[in-house]
Amino acid sequence: MDGGGAAGTTGGGYGLGGTIGQPDAGTVSGGQYDFRGGFWPGVIGAASPGGCRLDVDGSGPPPDLATDIVYVARRLLDLPPVPASFRALDPTIPSDVVIGAAIDGLGSALDVDGRNHIDIATDLVYIARRLLHLPPVPASFRLLDPTIPADAVIAANVDALCP
């Protein structure tokens, strides 16, 4: 049950109301975590129940790999977030505009490895693995790139998307 009718906002709704209630990530000791001057500048709260911003279809937490994460991946590929086949099975899925806005609202928070680039092959993999309760970074990735931040750092970034 969401609000139903799309509120009549035209254009990209970037007039945010301003509550960035993001608690500080706390002190991380150990891993090399260099705080790049505060939090992401463009965090826009997507209206999802429970404050789980990764729940981009607003169905309620926890985020679902088969829906929410698929939508995010498709959005990053410049595809409509929701495949038509999904809509055939579930006509109650919110519109692509609504889900697209929720995904865009995640902004740079999707860059869970903190490398200033949102990448399906890394960031989304880490998010998906975290949701599956696996270590976010596959060992094989670390062999190829030893500079990937610690699992604890990336896991915390994923968790921040859905506290």
The residue count for binding Ca ion (CB under 5 A) is: 10
Q: Is 75 in the site for Ca ion (CB under 5 A)?
A: no
Give least dist CB 102 to Ca ion, A.
10
Nearer to Ca ion, 10 or 89 (CB): 89
Among 46, 52, 54, 55, binds Ca ion (CB under 5 A): 55
Whose CB is nearest to Ca ion? Answer: 59
Residue 42 dihedral angles phi and psi, to the nearest 5°:
-105, 35
Rounded to whole angstroms, the Cα distance separating 112 from 126 reads 8
Nearer to Ca ion, 18 or 144 (CB): 144
Among 103, 123, 148, 149, binds Ca ion (CB under 5 A): 123
Tokens standing for residue 11: 């254009």
Rounded to whole angstroms, the Cα distance separating 122 from 68 reads 17
Q: Is 68 in the site for Ca ion (CB under 5 A)?
A: yes
Contact assessment for residue 35 and residue 45, using Cβ atoms and an 8 Å cutoff? no
Rounded to whole angstroms, the Cα distance separating 66 from 72 reads 11
Tokens standing for residue 78: 């410049």
Q: Is 57 in the site for Ca ion (CB under 5 A)?
A: yes
Q: Is 162 in the site for Ca ion (CB under 5 A)?
A: no
Q: Is 158 in the site for Ca ion (CB under 5 A)?
A: no
Contact assessment for residue 107 and residue 54, using Cβ atoms and an 8 Å cutoff? no
Interacting residues toward Ca ion by CB under 5 A: 55, 57, 59, 64, 68, 111, 113, 115, 117, 123
